[in-house]
């Protein structure tokens, strides 16, 4: 135990009426963990008071330092749990941190303010909602709600949403919020009169006013309204300044301006703030993160102790060297050297495969082989650049029974757009599938509202038939009206046509036609939310996947099995996630899949941000490689289906940038490029039997009989057509209705 910690331990700091903990009483776990730290790490743990910046590369123990430091503050009674504010980047990271701290302390960590920026900001805002012009029950809008609201406002203002897409306007507003700018703080003179910004500023004002009326905030508001609260109410700011005696921040390189200002407001005064970060791992520039915040730290907190950690404890020497060489090609970096005392280990394996299917198969086999060698499945991760890439692995693992979980997002088949698309396919195959019917009957919007749905439900219940059948029977009556009636008729006509296509057209193609003709694809094209591009990619991936199955019912059965596997969670599992979600995590073996030019660096990032975009992509590659402790395997495919189109792909430029002496290359897929055909057989769909309609309950009606209908009131039966009645109603006129809704009067 170092001298400083000993001193800290015996400090009768503000003492809160408690007896200080003596060395012997410190939990053994803490003592051991502390003893294993290197000198600069210990320094960071002990430098409790004042400002500390730990600026260091991946795997050098930044997070570990932060956790030990926090435990040290509590154990030395410098503060009670509720006086410590610890901010992490993801919910997963904060859960992990909480567990590790409680392990070190040997106690639960109740009372600690530990969470993401958003979760802490929302907690503060709820306490003081009325001062921010809200009620404490305010709702937090998600991206979809936000966009819908923007669209309404733009429509009301007669702004052409073709010329000024709401997604772009929303993006500009969000970036302003990231930079902590309220409408009044934006200088409109800087903008050309017809620029997006001028429109965005106008809408921004109205959007904020509207949110207030709705008693709602968006994600950007959480921090922004905290700042406003602190600036306008110094007493409240002081209260939190006094409360949070110690502030700690992980992944500091990814904070945006609003988060930075928030931290600065809270920390100025006592100045007890410790931030840890790595400029080489800044991967959220596209969401407003500013690496420059790291550079400002020393200016904002003069006398700050800056600690550099250079020893990497995570990765084998080969992996570390490969990652360091890769990142050294970036120009805008602070630059640092990393070393490790670990053995050389295995070189990074770079493996070429024929296509995505082979990639999933090969990785699956490797995982099984590592598992046999004693690796736990939870020691293994597959990291991908784009969300749609997880599908191929999920399908393969279901087939071969490798348990897996998708981190940071739903599994492929659980994603909203995939569930919607599957619902369309399910009613093609199984016309009575009420759940599928309900899911998509008004998605995209077809004017079939709650009233119509209620009528359908009611009728289906009375007659004990499916919703689809209820709809089918009611659409020719006056039980449903106007737009809804027309829509149902069109929808059923379409369904019949699509079903008949199944006997003449490959089923993947039918799926594409259904999604296009139903307006479902167009719905996402128009949405233009930040994630709509990803959703469209997923839909194309789905259509491609369908082609790999003999029949559509066969595919749907496979999907139900996938879903079932999803429910058997718990136990040992391989993790699949995007590179973005992998930040801060580590695994013994990491597979880095899809390192191809068309995928990684991601073309969108290069298109939108050019050289800066490329550097951010390279940092992502660095984050990916440095997650690995013992094994890193990079794969690239010679052919890949992207957006449902086969492309011949080139290995990613990041592969060329890896140093030869630290990699082993396996496989030359280019050798047989073009020799194989991707034509999959397309056995035709054979239509499944339609369940016969259930018979209407016996109720006798005669022409001329007086009856009562729950919607149209009293009337006389004029005609009978099977289970439908033509009735002249006293007040509603002549209508065709179903007998189940009619009672003898
Ligand atoms: P990243 O930049 O990826 O977030 P990091 O700097 O936060 O990495 P940690 O996750 O804290 O690094 O540590 C990486 C690994 O090294 C962990 O397994 C941690 O337990 C281990 N480690 C850190 N410091 C030491 C040490 N002094 N002795 C042994 N192992 C250590
Ligand atoms: Mg970390």
Residue 274 bridge partners (DSSP): 52, 248
**What percent of the residues of the chain are helix, what percent strand, and what percent coil, each to the nearest 5?**
50, 15, 35
| The two structure tokens encoding residue 565 | 């596997």
- Which one of the listed residues 42, 62, 583, 735 is annotated catalytic? 62
Candidate from 89, 248, 294, 314 with most ligand 1 atoms within 8 A of CB, to mutate: 314
Question: In this structure, how many other beta carbons lie within 10 angstroms of the beta carbon of residue 454?
Answer: 10
Which pLDDT belongs to residue 556? 84
Q: State how far the Cα of 457 lies from the Cα of 475, in Å rounded to an integer.
A: 14
| The two structure tokens encoding residue 265 | 């407001």
Give the closest residue (by CA) to ligand 1 atom 4. Answer: 584
Question: In this structure, how many other beta carbons lie within 10 angstroms of the beta carbon of residue 238?
Answer: 12
Task: Please write the tens of the pLDDT for every residue from 210-223.
Answer: 888 878 888 899 99
Task: Please write the tens of the pLDDT for every residue from 28-60.
Answer: 899 999 999 999 999 999 999 999 999 999 999
State in Å: Cα 63 to ligand 1 middle: 7
Delimit the CATH 3.40.50.300 region(s) of the chain.
3-126+226-311, 318-403+570-685
Which pLDDT belongs to residue 321? 96
SS3 11: coil
Q: For residue 37, which atom of ligand 1 is closest to its CA?
A: 27
Q: How confident is the model at residue 7 (pLDDT cuts 50, 70, 90)?
A: very low
Are the beta carbons of 343 and 314 closer than 8 angstroms?
A: no
State in Å: Cα 61 to ligand 2 middle: 7
CATH class of 140-214: mainly alpha
User: What is the average pLDDT across 177-196?
Assistant: 89
State in Å: Cα 65 to ligand 1 middle: 8
- Which one of the listed residues 351, 415, 426, 627 is annotated catalytic? 627
Which pLDDT belongs to residue 386? 92
DSSP for 105-122, written as a single string: HTS--TT-EEEEHHHHHH
Question: Does the pLDDT at position 18 exceed 50?
Answer: no
State in Å: Cα 64 to ligand 2 middle: 7
CA 470, 474, 479, 482 dihedral sign is positive
Reference 472, options 677, 195, 723, 700; nearest CA is 723
State in Å: Cα 313 to ligand 1 middle: 6
Ligand nearest to the CA of 625: 1
Lowest mean pLDDT among 143-152, 431-440, 496-505, 642-651: 143-152
State in Å: Cα 587 to ligand 2 middle: 13
Question: Does the pLDDT at position 347 exceed 70?
Answer: yes
| The two structure tokens encoding residue 295 | 């550079």
Q: For residue 623, which atom of ligand 1 is closest to its CA?
A: 3
Give the closest residue (by CA) to ligand 1 atom 8. Answer: 59
Give the closest residue (by CA) to ligand 1 atom 11. Answer: 61
User: What is the average pLDDT across 554-558?
Assistant: 80
Task: Please write the tens of the pLDDT for every residue from 447-483.
Answer: 888 788 888 888 887 887 878 888 988 988 888 888 8
- Which numeric CATH code is attached to 3-126+226-311? 3.40.50.300
CB hemisphere CA count around 273 (13 angstroms): 25
Q: What percent of the chain has pLDDT over 90?
A: 51
| The two structure tokens encoding residue 658 | 């890896």
Question: Does the pLDDT at position 25 exceed 80?
Answer: no
Delimit the CATH 1.10.10.160 region(s) of the chain.
140-214
State in Å: Cα 585 to ligand 1 middle: 10
| 312 vs 398, higher pLDDT | 312
State in Å: Cα 268 to ligand 2 middle: 25
State in Å: Cα 568 to ligand 1 middle: 32
- Which one of the listed residues 43, 88, 281, 477 is annotated catalytic? 281
Give the closest residue (by CA) to ligand 1 atom 24. Answer: 61
Q: Is 62 a catalytic residue?
A: yes
Q: How confident is the model at residue 570 (pLDDT cuts 50, 70, 90)?
A: low
Task: Please write the tens of the pLDDT for every residue from 504-531.
Answer: 999 999 999 999 999 999 999 987 776 7
Q: How confident is the model at residue 588 (pLDDT cuts 50, 70, 90)?
A: very high
- Which one of the listed residues 250, 358, 366, 617 is annotated catalytic? 250
Mean pLDDT of the chain: 85
Q: State how far the Cα of 539 lies from the Cα of 521, in Å rounded to an integer.
A: 8
Around ion ligand 2, residues with a beta carbon closer than 5 Å are 62-63, 584
Q: Is 178 a catalytic residue?
A: no
Candidate from 63, 67, 92, 94 with most ligand 1 atoms within 8 A of CB, to mutate: 63
Ligand nearest to the CA of 88: 2
Are the beta carbons of 100 and 94 closer than 8 angstroms?
A: no
Q: Maximum distance among all alpha carbons in the chain?
A: 102
State in Å: Cα 636 to ligand 1 middle: 29
Task: Please write the tens of the pLDDT for every residue from 110-125.
Answer: 899 999 898 899 899 9
Question: Does the pLDDT at position 676 exceed 50?
Answer: no
User: What is the average pLDDT across 641-653?
Assistant: 84
Lowest mean pLDDT among 219-223, 311-315, 644-648, 690-694: 690-694
Which pLDDT belongs to residue 15? 33
Q: For residue 57, which atom of ligand 1 is closest to its CA?
A: 2
Give the closest residue (by CA) to ligand 1 atom 21. Answer: 313
Are the beta carbons of 716 and 728 closer than 8 angstroms?
A: yes
Q: How confident is the model at residue 699 (pLDDT cuts 50, 70, 90)?
A: low
User: What is the average pLDDT across 216-236?
Assistant: 93
Q: How confident is the model at residue 432 (pLDDT cuts 50, 70, 90)?
A: confident
Q: State how far the Cα of 190 lies from the Cα of 193, in Å rounded to an integer.
A: 9
Delimit the CATH 1.10.486.10 region(s) of the chain.
414-560
Give the closest residue (by CA) to ligand 1 atom 2. Answer: 58
User: What is the average pLDDT across 311-333?
Assistant: 94
User: What is the average pLDDT across 617-635?
Assistant: 97
Q: For residue 626, which atom of ligand 1 is closest to its CA?
A: 3
Which pLDDT belongs to residue 563? 61
Which pLDDT belongs to residue 673? 34
Q: Is 251 a catalytic residue?
A: yes
User: What is the average pLDDT across 161-183?
Assistant: 91
CA 465, 466, 469, 470 dihedral sign is positive
Question: Does the pLDDT at position 681 exceed 50?
Answer: no
- Which one of the listed residues 63, 77, 443, 521 is annotated catalytic? 63
DSSP for 696-724, written as a single string: PPP----TT-EEEETTTEEEEEEEEETTE
- Secondary structure of 539-602 in HEC code, one letter for each residue: HHHHHHHHHCCCCHHHHHHHHHHHHHHHHCCCCCCEEEEECHHHCCCCEEEEEECCCECCCCCC
Q: What is the pTM of this model?
A: 0.72
- Secondary structure of 331-352 in HEC code, one letter for each residue: CCCCCCCCECCCCCCCCEEEEE
DSSP for 277-322, written as a single string: E-GGG---GGGTB-THHHHHHHHHSTT-EEE---B--SS-HHHHHH
Residues within a 6 A CB radius of ligand 1: 36-38, 41, 58-64, 278, 281, 313-314, 584, 586, 626
Candidate from 34, 41, 59, 275 with most ligand 1 atoms within 8 A of CB, to mutate: 59
Q: For residue 313, which atom of ligand 1 is closest to its CA?
A: 16
Domain 318-403+570-685 superfamily per CATH: P-loop containing nucleotide triphosphate hydrolases (3.40.50.300)
Which pLDDT belongs to residue 138? 78
Ligand nearest to the CA of 65: 1
Reference 575, options 343, 326, 370, 406; nearest CA is 406
Which pLDDT belongs to residue 551? 86
Buried b (16+ CB within 10 A) or exposed e, 260-276: bbbbebbbeebebbbbb
Q: For residue 312, which atom of ligand 1 is closest to its CA?
A: 16
SS3 268: coil
Question: In this structure, how many other beta carbons lie within 10 angstroms of the beta carbon of residue 164?
Answer: 19
Question: Does the pLDDT at position 2 exceed 90?
Answer: no
Q: State how far the Cα of 503 lies from the Cα of 561, in Å rounded to an integer.
A: 25
Question: In this structure, how many other beta carbons lie within 10 angstroms of the beta carbon of residue 231?
Answer: 12
Ligand nearest to the CA of 60: 1
Are the beta carbons of 558 and 391 closer than 8 angstroms?
A: no
Q: How confident is the model at residue 669 (pLDDT cuts 50, 70, 90)?
A: low
- Which one of the listed residues 218, 251, 359, 478 is annotated catalytic? 251
Q: For residue 251, which atom of ligand 1 is closest to its CA?
A: 4
Candidate from 62, 64, 282, 630 with most ligand 1 atoms within 8 A of CB, to mutate: 64
- Which numeric CATH code is attached to 414-560? 1.10.486.10
State in Å: Cα 82 to ligand 1 middle: 26
């Amino acid at each position: 135990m170092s001298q400083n910690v000993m001193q800290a331990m015996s400090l009768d700091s503000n003492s809160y009426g408690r007896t200080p903990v003596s060395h012997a009483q410190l939990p053994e776990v803490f003592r051991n963990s502390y003893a294993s730290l290197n000198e600069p790490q210990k320094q960071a743990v002990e430098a409790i008071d004042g400002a500390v910046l730990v600026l260091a590369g991946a795997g050098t123990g930044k997070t570990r330092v932060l956790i030990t430091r926090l435990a040290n503050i509590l154990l030395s009674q410098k503060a009670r749990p509720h006086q410590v504010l610890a901010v992490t980047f993801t919910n997963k990271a904060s859960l992990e941190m909480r567990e590790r701290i409680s392990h070190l302390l040997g106690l639960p960590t109740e009372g600690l303010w530990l969470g993401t920026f958003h979760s802490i900001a929302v907690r503060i805002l709820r306490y003081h909602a009325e001062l921010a012009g809200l009620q404490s029950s305010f709702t937090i809008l998600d991206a979809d709600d936000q966009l819908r609201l923007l669209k309404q406002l733009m429509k009301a203002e007669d702004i052409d949403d073709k010329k000024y897409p709401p997604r772009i306007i929303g993006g500009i507003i969000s970036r302003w919020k990231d930079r902590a700018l309220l409408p009044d703080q934006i200088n409109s003179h800087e903008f050309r009169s017809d620029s997006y910004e001028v429109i965005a500023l106008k809408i921004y004002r109205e959007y904020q006013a509207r949110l207030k009326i709705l008693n709602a905030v968006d994600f950007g508001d959480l921090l922004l309204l905290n700042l406003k609260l602190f600036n306008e109410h110094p007493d409240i700011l002081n209260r939190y300044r006094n409360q949070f005696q110690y502030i700690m921040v992980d992944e500091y390189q990814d904070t945006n301006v609003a988060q930075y200002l928030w931290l600065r407001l809270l920390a100025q005064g006592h100045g007890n703030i410790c931030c840890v970060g790595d400029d080489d791992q800044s991967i959220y520039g596209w969401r407003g993160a500013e690496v420059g915040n790291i550079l400002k730290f020393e200016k904002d907190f003069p006398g700050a102790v800056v600690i550099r950690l250079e020893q990497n404890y995570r990765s084998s020497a080969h992996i570390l060297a490969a990652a360091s060489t890769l990142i050294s090609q970036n120009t805008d970096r602070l630059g640092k050297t990393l070393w490790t005392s670990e053995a050389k280990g295995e070189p990074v394996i770079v493996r070429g495969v024929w296509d995505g299917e082979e990639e999933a198969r090969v990785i699956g086999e490797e995982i099984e082989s590592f598992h046999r060698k004693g690796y736990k499945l939870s020691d293994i991760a597959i990291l991908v650049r784009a969300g749609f890439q997880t599908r191929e692995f999920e399908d393969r693992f279901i087939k071969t029974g490798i348990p897996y979980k998708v981190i940071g997002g739903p599994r492929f088949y659980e994603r909203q757009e995939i569930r919607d698309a599957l619902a369309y396919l399910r009613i093609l195959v199984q016309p009575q599938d009420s759940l599928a019917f309900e899911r998509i009957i008004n998605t995209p919007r077809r004017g079939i509202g709650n009233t119509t749905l209620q009528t359908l439900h009611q009728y289906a219940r009375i007659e004990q038939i499916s919703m689809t059948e209820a709809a089918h029977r009611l659409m020719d009556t006056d039980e449903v009206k106007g737009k809804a009636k027309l829509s149902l008729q069109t929808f059923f006509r379409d369904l019949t046509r699509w079903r008949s296509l199944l006997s003449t057209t490959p089923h993947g193609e039918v799926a594409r036609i259904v999604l296009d003709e139903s307006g479902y694809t167009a719905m996402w094209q128009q949405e233009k939310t930040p994630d709509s591009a990803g959703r469209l990619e997923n839909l194309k991936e789905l259509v491609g996947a369908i082609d790999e199955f003999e029949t559509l019912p066969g595919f749907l059965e496979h999907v139900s099995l996938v879903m079932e596997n999803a429910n058997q969670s718990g136990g040992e599992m391989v993790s699949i996630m995007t590179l973005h979600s992998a930040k801060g995590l580590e695994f013994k073996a990491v597979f880095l899949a899809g390192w191809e030019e068309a995928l990684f660096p991601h073309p969108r990032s290069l298109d939108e941000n050019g050289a800066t975009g490329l550097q951010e992509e390279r940092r992502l590659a660095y984050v990916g490689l440095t997650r690995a402790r013992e094994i890193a395997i990079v794969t690239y495919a010679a052919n890949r289906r992207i957006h449902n189109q086969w492309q011949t792909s080139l290995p990613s430029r990041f592969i060329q940038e890896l140093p030869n002496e630290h990699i082993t290359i396996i496989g030359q897929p280019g050798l047989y490029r073009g020799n194989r055909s991707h034509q999959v057989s397309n056995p035709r769909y054979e239509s499944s039997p339609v369940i016969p309609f259930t018979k209407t309950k016996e109720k006798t009606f005669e022409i001329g009989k007086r009856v009562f209908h729950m919607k149209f009131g009293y009337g006389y039966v004029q005609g009978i057509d099977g289970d439908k009645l033509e009735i002249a109603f006293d007040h509603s006129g002549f209508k065709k209705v179903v007998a189940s809704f009619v009672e003898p009067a």
